[in-house]
Amino acid sequence: MPNAPTQPPDNPSTADAPPPVPSRNALPGVRLRDAAHVWSWFRIDVPARVLPLTAVPLIWALAWGGGVHSVGLSADFALWAWLPLVPLAVIVALVSAEFVRRQGAVGSRATPGALALELSFFLVLNPVAEELFFRGLAQGRLAEYIGFLPALLIVATVFGFHHALAGFQRPFLLLATVGGLLFGTTLFIYGSVLPAIALHIAADIGIFLVGPWWSARTRRATAKPA
């Protein structure tokens, strides 16, 4: 799982991860993420967390749920219904990026190899896994027993605070909980996990890609001589 935005948000790592490659022209504190550094956490998080979060809902759906639609993998809504999600996704990405900047992240930029790994993780693997498990399976099944609102609150809270396992601090845990409320409400409105995945992708882009770039750009601008 990626590391906390304040530690910084752009460099997910494990204890044995090598330090980011220094950039010849980088400002102090603005880091360069290379493929080896990203791979050091990618190779652990994907098999240990992402694959189980993806596999468990799919196995349940195929074995006992009657098909993947039981975990929200369906698009039984009109095509135009995606339109309101476009500005909402932009807002989610911008708010997430601004959150990172305001948390005082040092900022960073990625090499092409690092960016390729990060894009596969934040645009596909992570949002699909977490939404299938937390929204498609957990919220969907819990709502059958206790109703939508209690299930939404419980699952969003668990989702938000499970990021503490990766060292995220309280501000991010609260932000992730709010995100869980948004994603869960989207699932309820659309009856599908696909729009929730789209919004989750927007949040990940803001936090882990745009946010670090924005922070680095801000530091560069403020460091320019008057």
pLDDT digit string, tens, across residues 58-92: 999 999 999 999 999 999 999 999 999 999 999 99
pLDDT band at residue 26, thresholds of 50, 70 and 90? very low
What domain range is 173 assigned to?
31-223
Number of domains in the chain: 1
Evaluate whether residue 69 is within a structural domain.
Answer: yes
Evaluate whether residue 200 is within a structural domain.
Answer: yes
Q: pTM to 2 decimals?
A: 0.86
Strand partners, 109: 32
Position 224 scores a pLDDT of: 61
Evaluate whether residue 15 is within a structural domain.
Answer: no
Q: What does the mean pLDDT of the chain come to?
A: 87
Evaluate whether residue 25 is within a structural domain.
Answer: no
Evaluate whether residue 20 is within a structural domain.
Answer: no
Evaluate whether residue 17 is within a structural domain.
Answer: no
Mean pLDDT of 32-47: 94
Is the separation of the CB atoms in 101 and 19 below 8 Å? no
219-to-3, 77, 78, 183, 222 alpha-carbon distances in Å:
21, 44, 44, 32, 5
